[in-house]
Structure 1
Amino acid sequence: MNSQNNRSIDTKSSEKVSEKVSEIVSSDNGFKITGALVYSSASSLLEKSMRLMKSQFKNEATSFNFDCSEVTRIDSAGIALLVEWKRTCDQNNKQFSLTNLPDQAKSLVETYRLEKLLQ
């Protein structure tokens, strides 16, 4: 019974580690995203990205690029983040662009028929 509890604790610990690996930071022309855009990291990435975007909106930038070159994995929660970032840019009259989207993300975007939305 103790070994099962330890296994459960270990699993939860590794999930938390993957959350810390996921990051969004400001770059010269927008934001750089690293790590996994997945359910376990979505909430913290959304919170941080909204703070960063709000501060960038004050700088009078007209467009925001989201560089996904270091995204390692993405799931439906990650796709929802992309849609939310696009929506936030639209609401603030800023152009939105994605660069270096991994093939896995492109496949999900096509599956959900979001190609036009995320252009």
Structure 2
Amino acid sequence: MKPLTINKIANGDFAVVGDLTFASLDKNAVKNMAFLTSTKEVSIDLGQVVNTDSAGLALMIEWIKYARSHRTQLRFHNIPKQLRSLAKLSRLDTCTYFEE
């Protein structure tokens, strides 16, 4: 298991590194959403996510809800295949937050 970290790349650009799984997510990971309001447009690169499961998708949905409530435009990039498959099952893969 690789712990989840969120690294700031540039103003409004972040990279998620590690696992997005039930085992790797803790209360702090879920509660720490302040980075989503650092600017009015936030981009999250998921290209360095190693493992994921439905908990990762649930966290992304929480980020989307939080961003909406704070009027922040949010985009996800380089979504891992496994996470994209989970999103497709929920029909979230077609929403504007998910980019190739």
Report the TM-score, using the length of structure 2 for normalisation.
0.82
Structure 1 consecutive aligned stretches of length 4 or more whose deviation exceeds 6 Å: none
Q: For 1:77 and 1:99, how far apart are their aligned partners in 2?
A: 18
What is the root-mean-square deviation in Å for CA atoms of aligned residues? 1.8
Q: Does 1:107 align with 2:90?
A: no
SS in structure 2 at match of 1:42: coil
Equivalent of 2:49, from 67, 71, 92?
A: 71
Structure 2: which 5+ runs fail to align?
Answer: none
- Structure number with higher strand proportion: 2
Q: For 2:34 and 2:41, how far apart are their aligned partners in 1?
A: 17
| Contact 1:83/1:118 (8 A) holds in 2 | no
In structure 2, what is the equivalent of residue 4 of structure 1?
Answer: none
Encode CA deviations 1:31-71: one digit per residue, 9 max, x unaligned.
Answer: 210111001222232233x24335x2xxxx22111110100
Q: Percent identity?
A: 25
How far is 1:117 from its partner? 6.6
- Structure number with higher helix proportion: 1
Larger radius of gyration: 1
Report the TM-score, using the length of structure 1 for normalisation.
0.70
